[in-house]
Amino acid sequence: MIRVPALQARTASIRQSIRWSRSLPLQAQHQPWSPRRSFASQDSSTLSLIDKRLRFNLTPAEIESAASSALDLQKKSKSFSSSFGQLAQCDNDITGELSVVQFLKHISTEPEVRATSTAVSQQIQSAQIEISMRSDVYRSLLSTPVSAQTHPDGDEDSRLVEKTLQDYERNGLGLSQDRQDRLRKLRMRISELCLEFSKNLADDRTVVKLTRDELEGLPEAFLQGLEKATEDGIDKYIVTMKYPDIIPVMKLAKRDETRKRLYIANSTRCAPNIDIMQEVIQLRNQCATLMGCSSHAEFQLQPKMAKTPEQVLTFLNKLREGVTPIARRELQTLIELKQKEKSALGQAFDGQLHAWDVQYYSDMLLREQFQVDHEKIKEYYSLDAVTKGMLDLYEKILQVRFVPVESHVWHPDVQLIRVDDSSTGELVGHFYLDLFPRDGKYTHAACFPLLPGHLTADQQRQSPVAAMVANFPKPRPGYPSLLKHGEIITYFHELGHVMHEICSKTKWARFHGTNTEWDFVETPSQMFENWCWNERILTALSSHYQTGDKIPQELVQSLIKSRNVNAGLNCLRQIFFGLFDMRVHGLAENESVDVRSLWQQLMAEVTLIPGIEGTCGAATFGHIMGGYDAGYYGYLWSEVYSTDLFETMFSEENILNGIHGRAYRDKILGPGGSKNGIDIIQSFLGRRPEDRMFLKRLGI
């Protein structure tokens, strides 16, 4: 349990980390910030609106009441006489309220609140399914004269008409009544199961208790941060499955058995989720059949950039063919490294690299051949220093200004930040940072849209609000929160999603921010990751937590040179996830698949590294149960586009180019989903995107 004094100290640390330098050169020394100009009156009214619409201290009864009121308003609005504008305006009005009551299940400190939020989320999803299948509303929209379906404002209103009708059609309104009823029941059951899957992940408390000897290789600072327990009279450290615990152990624990125990524990947890996933796959297949599609993948891909399963499989298999020879060479290097270590230790070598060996020997390779010691490197990247430098960078590139403000938050660690346009002072939006793990909290890193930007009924602009939730290492006695390079990349990535939410400027909430085609949504955020591999940027972000010194040039250069170390193996792992997703969602009618055996089969075939019998990582593969079904390929798909965007517009001499950055803000982030992704990219590049830059980076 965290004690209050430690909590208060950590809160002060976070809030201080937001007070970064306002000097233009990124390399400038950071000093405590003081405002250049005041927007107090503007901010006061905005905050009152945020505090009114985004209450995070709701009781269980208030959660139920808020959801009920919002859904009642939506049901009234979606009457027989509904128009496209009326429906969209209703979505504008209620999205914030519905977002908060569902967001609480991820971040509330109260188990009862999380449980109520989870239950209400199910009710909301069921109600949304019912509302989305109102045939009377659909008929009313179809009877609207064509001239009334467009609007003088132009393309976004025309797109609203197109997408609204498409949504109703994809919700089965063109089916007979008995098929509609069947589809509704199937989708409600799917919704229930996906929420149960998510809840199992959030509630999981799997731990492994290990002695100091079993944790040989882990630094003392890490061990001091672990909880301890006595078992059979022996003092042990408690290692959870949360990233800040398990990743360092998998990378640094010298004993094979220790890493194997953690791998098995992590790959066998949430076992009931396998049956849940199995059922969801079959139900999705039945829905696709009702909709006249050959598979769920075919149905899901129709509105995306890729359009067809064949296009996705061609993309993944072409990439797999290109990177597999590279990955085989990388695998052989790791096997030789393992053989060398075993020989030096006088231990038997079984000639194989196991799944629990990959991170350990990859980290050893970085240290021995590239002189990349992530434990040493992270000493230069405290959360405070990274936050200051990162926000300074985002300010300069996107031409915005970040201002920390006081407001109601859900936990003392959380900070609210206002975003203003740096040239006009106009309010752009607000976002929250919630960066440390705690019991019951969402276990990964993500951006949660809370209040989408849109035009109100009286044509005033509602500014957006979003939250970044992460699980970075907590400060420990004598040590601040220190970020490894991979965690810095995660920080940049998720804040990229936040900036997509904040900088988007659309008329309708349904098109705001990350409401894009699902295989485009990662492109803007992945593009921001590229700054994490630039020497100038990494130097500017650094400040040794004890001395304040910048990271030595040779250390950062070695880190950059290591970018493509095991790039083939890492790419194959992403291809494996994508192919598993496409395989389970590409089933034809009446086909079935055993999730466990398929996971093991594809893992061995694609990644070149088999798992272990009796385990199944699919139980924690939350992506395909939470929106990325027949869509996980989108991470690699988007990376191809994001690499092209970065290499074309932000080469070394343009790494801090505010003109290009403002164009990126306006042309890539600004439209949200109000335009097709391919058109958005072309408007910025002046041409169609290519895969040449991505393949070159991988060495293909």
**Residues belonging to the active site:** 494
Range 376-413 burial, b when 16+ CB lie within 10 A, else e: ebbbbbbbbbbbbbbbbbbbbbbbbbbbbbebebbbbb
Place of tokens 């405070």: 384
For residue 38, count other CB atoms closer than 10 A to its CB.
10
The residues that bridge with 466 in the sheet, in sequence order, are 431, 449
Cα–Cα distance, 430 to 44 (Å, whole number): 13
Give which of 277, 305, 301, 307 is closest to 288, Cα–Cα: 301
**Tokens matching residue 219:** 């630094």
CA atoms within 13 A on the CB side of 186: 21
Give which of 373, 375, 382, 379 is closest to 559, Cα–Cα: 373
CA distances in angstroms from 455 to 55, 85, 430, 463, listed in the order given: 22, 12, 17, 9
Diameter of the chain measured on Cα atoms = 82
**Tokens matching residue 427:** 């309010």
Give which of 694, 599, 686, 589 is closest to 641, Cα–Cα: 694
For residue 446, give the DSSP letter: E
8 Å CB contact between 509 and 452: yes
8 Å CB contact between 239 and 206: no
Return phi, psi of residue 68, to 5°.
-60, -45
For residue 381, give the DSSP letter: B
Give which of 305, 304, 302, 274 is closest to 288, Cα–Cα: 302
For residue 382, give the DSSP letter: B
Give which of 288, 491, 318, 498 is closest to 400, Cα–Cα: 498
Residues whose CB is less than 8 angstroms from the CB of residue 420 and which lie 6 or more positions away in sequence, other chains included: 39, 400, 401, 403, 426, 427, 428
Place of tokens 């939250």: 467
Cα–Cα distance, 617 to 599 (Å, whole number): 8
Cα–Cα distance, 260 to 212 (Å, whole number): 16
- Continuous segment of H or E residues that includes residue 395: helix 383-398
- Continuous segment of H or E residues that includes residue 73: helix 60-77
8 Å CB contact between 422 and 395: yes
Residues whose CB is less than 8 angstroms from the CB of residue 83 and which lie 6 or more positions away in sequence, other chains included: 141, 144, 148
Return phi, psi of residue 449, to 5°.
-70, 130
Place of tokens 């797999």: 320
Cα–Cα distance, 222 to 224 (Å, whole number): 5
